[in-house]
């Protein structure tokens, strides 16, 4: 039976090395207490690595780990629309675990499918967006918001509607703020004058 090496043998230095989660691990034959050959030390190196990996997996995330994870998530969001289905699955599984992409996708599709069925017209994303835009249009016409800002808000929320689906029920979305479907727009409402914002939240 072919032996399975958990680490890479570096003959010139008589050491074993392993890159794991962005960090290099290294151990010499002397430290392992074995003769300085690959054949004589590989089992001890495998055992040492199993212990080290368990410690690494149990350790709390460092600031560097958090920065790396944040960058990976940011990159995933930026690239998501350009990726094919297989690439999306591979990327998501690298972040949340093998097989999780299909599980999460199936759950999401089931929630959306059940929410879309017989959705009252006033409970769709489209209806909520139209109501929100009507509110902002009134603010704009009163001179308390520029037309440029109003147009920008409408373009941004239009991207959201295109992504989530105009006929999706708002009940399928975890929400905040004045119109339940518009969690994305919640931050934008901070710029609406206070008295209008109160009307929207009514």
Flag whether pLDDT at 177 surpasses 50: no
Domain-embedded: residue 1: no
Residue 3 lies in a domain: no
Q: According to the model, what pLDDT value does residue 186 have?
A: 42
Cβ–Cβ under 8 Å, residues 89 and 97: no
Assess whether pLDDT exceeds 60 at residue 41.
yes
- Of the pLDDT bands very low, low, confident and very high (cuts 50, 70, 90), residue 118 is low
The answer on 196 and 139 residing in a single domain is: yes
Would 96 be classed as within a structural domain? yes
The verdict on 190 and 128 lying in the same domain is yes
Residue 96 corresponds to which tokens in the numbers above?
């949340």
Residue whose C-alpha is closest to residue 173's, from 112, 105, 100, 98: 112
For residues 125 and 191, membership in a common domain is answered with: yes
Distance from C-alpha of 148 to C-alpha of 161, rounded to nearest angstrom: 20
Instruction: Enumerate the H helices of the chain as residue ranges.
Output: 29-32, 38-58, 63-79, 85-96, 100-116, 125-141, 147-164, 183-186, 194-201
* Residues forming a β-bridge with 25: 18
Give this prediction's pTM. Answer: 0.35
> Which of 29-33, 60-64, 113-117 has the highest mean predicted lDDT (pLDDT)?
29-33
- 130 lies in the same domain as 194: yes
3-state secondary structure of 27: strand
Q: Look-up: residue for tokens 């008295």?
A: 195
Mean model confidence pLDDT for the chain? 76
- Domain with 195, as residue range(s), is 121-201
Of the pLDDT bands very low, low, confident and very high (cuts 50, 70, 90), residue 114 is: low
Q: Are residues 101 and 143 in the same domain?
A: no
Where do we find the tokens 């990159």? 75
Residue 141 has pLDDT above 70, yes or no: yes
pLDDT of residue 192: 43
Residues 130, 83 within the same domain: no
Please give the C-alpha separations between residue 94 and each of 39, 56, 100, 134, 168, in angstroms, as whole numbers: 33, 17, 9, 42, 29
User: Phi/psi of residue 172, each to 5°?
Assistant: -85, 0
Report residue 113's pLDDT band, with 50, 70 and 90 as the boundaries: low
What pLDDT band is residue 39 in, cutting at 50, 70 and 90?
very high
């Amino acid at each position: 039976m072919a032996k399975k090496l958990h680490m890479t043998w570096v003959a010139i230095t008589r050491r074993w090395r392993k890159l794991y989660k962005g960090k290099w691990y290294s151990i010499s034959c002397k430290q392992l207490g074995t003769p300085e050959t690959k054949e004589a030390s590989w089992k001890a190196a495998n055992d040492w690595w199993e212990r080290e990996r368990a410690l690494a997996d149990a350790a709390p995330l460092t600031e560097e780990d958090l920065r790396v994870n944040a960058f990976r998530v940011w990159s995933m969001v930026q690239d998501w629309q350009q990726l094919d289905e297989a690439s999306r699955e591979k990327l998501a599984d690298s972040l949340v675990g093998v097989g999780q992409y299909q599980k999460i996708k199936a759950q999401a599709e089931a929630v959306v499918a059940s929410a879309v069925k017989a959705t009252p017209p006033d409970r769709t994303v489209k209806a909520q967006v139209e109501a929100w835009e009507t509110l902002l249009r009134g603010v704009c016409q009163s001179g308390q918001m520029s037309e440029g800002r109003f147009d920008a808000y409408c373009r941004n929320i239009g991207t959201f509607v295109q992504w989530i689906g105009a006929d999706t029920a708002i009940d399928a979305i975890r929400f905040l703020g004045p119109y339940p479907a518009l969690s994305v727009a919640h931050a934008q409402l901070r710029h609406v004058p206070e008295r209008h914002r109160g009307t929207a939240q009514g």
